[in-house]
Amino acid sequence: MSASERQIQDAYKIAQDRYAELGIDTDSVLKAVDGIPISIQCWQGDDVLGFENKGGSLSGGIATTGNYPGRATTPDQLRADLEVALGLIPGAKRVNLHAIYLESPTYVERDQIEVKHFQTWIDWAKQKNLGLDFNPTLFSHANAEQGLTLAHPDAAIRKFWVDHTVACARISEEMGKQLNNPATMNIWIPDGFKDNPADRATPRALLVEALDEIRKQDTATAFHKNSVEGKLFGIGAESYTVGSNDFYLGYAATRKMLLTLDAGHFHPTENVGDKISTALLFVPELLLHVSRPVRWDSDHVVILDDALQGIANEIIRSGQVDKIHIGLDFFDASINRIAAWVIGTRNTRKALLISLLESAKELVSAEHNFDFTKRLAFSEEDKSMPWSSVWEFYCLSKGIPSGREWYNTVVKYEQDVLSKR
C-alpha cells in the first residue's frame, strides 16, 4: 500500500468517526451510493452525429460547439472511448443510446430500424455489465426540417415519426430483455416555432393524438419503460414549444407513464430539484437528464454546483430512489470528450454521496418542530463535514483514481489514440 493510500484510509477513519457522532454509518452510505445507476449519454463522444450517415450534420434545435480533436467516428471508437471513461467512474452505470447510433452496412430509414442494428451494443453492454437506455431520434432528418415532427400538420410525416418511435420501443424492450435490466426510452421532440404562433392549440392536439397512437402499439413492460420530456424553448423554437413541461406533466400524469425532467430545459434560475417532489405525486416514476444550462439550454458539462446538489438532495430526500432514473445529457466539443464524461458523471456521484451523508433525521426533526434556526444551522454545518475523505476512500475501494490521477489516463489515451484519428 502506498503512502497516499494509507493517508486516504486514515482520513476515512477520522471521517467515519465524525459522521458516526451524527448517527451516520458511512459504510452503509457507500454501499447505497455505489448501487445508484447513472446513465451516461453516448452522444458526448461524437457530438451527437451518430452513425446513420457519414459526415452527418445536426439540425432541429441541436447544436454542439467546439472542434476538439479526437471525436469518435465509428461505433467501435465510441465504445472504446466509453470504456476509458467507465474505468474512471465508480458505481453502477448504464449507457444511453439514440437511434442514430445504429450499426448497418447500408442506410436504414428511421421507421425501419430493428434490434439487429443495435445487437452489437447489447452484446457489449452484457460483457461490460451495463444497462442500456434508448431514445428515438426526432431531429437531424428531412422530415424534421420544418421544425415539427409528431405535431406536424401532414399526417404522413406524423405517421413516419410514430412508426419510428414504435420501432424504437421494440428495440428498447429487447435491450431490457437480453440484459435482464429494464431499459428506459425517452421521447423528446424539437417541435415549436421561432416566432409567436397564431394557433397554439392545434399542434398540441396533434401531439396528443400521435403520442396516444404510439402508446397503443408501445405498452410499458417489465423490461421497457417509456418517458416523455418537456422543454421551455430551443433554437428555432424560442417563442413556442409544443411539448412544454406543462403539456408533458399533464400527459404523463393522465397516461401513468414516466416524466423526464431535463435540468437544461427550464429557465436557468429555476430550481429543477424542487420539481421532483411535485411530479412524483402524479406520475409513477421520473427520468432525470442532468445537465447544466448557462443562460440557455447549452448542455454544459455538469459541475458540482448548487443546482446539481439541489437535484441530488431531492433524489435522496424523496425516499424514492428506485422510482427516479438518473441520466446525463450534455455534449461539449470544446474539451476532451472523455474528460467531459468523467467530470460530469463523477460530480453527479459526488452530489449523491454528499446527500446521503446529510444529517437528514435531525434536519427533518427540526423542521417538524418548527425550529428553523436549527435546520439552517445544521444544514450549513453539514457542508463542512469531511465528505471528500469518504469520496476518496470510496474510489480507492473500487480501484478508481480518487483525485486528479484520472486525468493522466485521459491525457495518455489522447496522445496514444485520439490524436491519431
Environment class of 1 (CB within 10 Å of its CB; exposed 0-12, middle 13-18, buried 19+): exposed
User: For this structure, is 329 an active site residue?
Assistant: yes
Q: Which among 218, 229, 382, 414 is annotated as catalytic?
A: 229
Q: Which among 46, 81, 297, 332 is annotated as catalytic?
A: 297
The angle subtended at Cα 80 by Cα 79 and Cα 86, nearest 5°, is 85
User: For this structure, is 188 an active site residue?
Assistant: yes
Environment class of 174 (CB within 10 Å of its CB; exposed 0-12, middle 13-18, buried 19+): buried
Q: Which among 47, 191, 314, 329 is annotated as catalytic?
A: 329
Tell me the C-alpha distance between 410 and 355, whole Å: 28
Q: What is the secondary structure of 262-325 as a DSSP string?
A: ETTSS-TTS-TTHHHHHHTTTSS-EEEEE-B-SSSS--BPP-SSHHHHHHHHHHHHTT-GGGEE
DSSP state of 24: -
Q: Which among 117, 289, 300, 350 is annotated as catalytic?
A: 289
User: For this structure, is 265 an active site residue?
Assistant: yes
In which residue are the cell numbers 452510505 written?
29
Contact criterion met (CB below 8 Å) for 55 and 184 = no
Beta bridge partners of 70: none
Instruction: From residue 412, give the alpha-carbon distance in Å to each of 70, 199, 336.
Output: 13, 55, 12
User: For this structure, is 299 an active site residue?
Assistant: yes
Q: Which among 81, 191, 299, 392 is annotated as catalytic?
A: 299
Q: Which among 52, 133, 262, 314 is annotated as catalytic?
A: 262
Residue 69's identity, in one-letter code, is P
Q: Which among 93, 152, 225, 231 is annotated as catalytic?
A: 231
Cell of 334: 470544446
User: For this structure, is 262 an active site residue?
Assistant: yes
Residue 1's identity, in one-letter code, is M
Annotated catalytic residues are 188, 229, 231, 262, 265, 289, 297, 299, 329
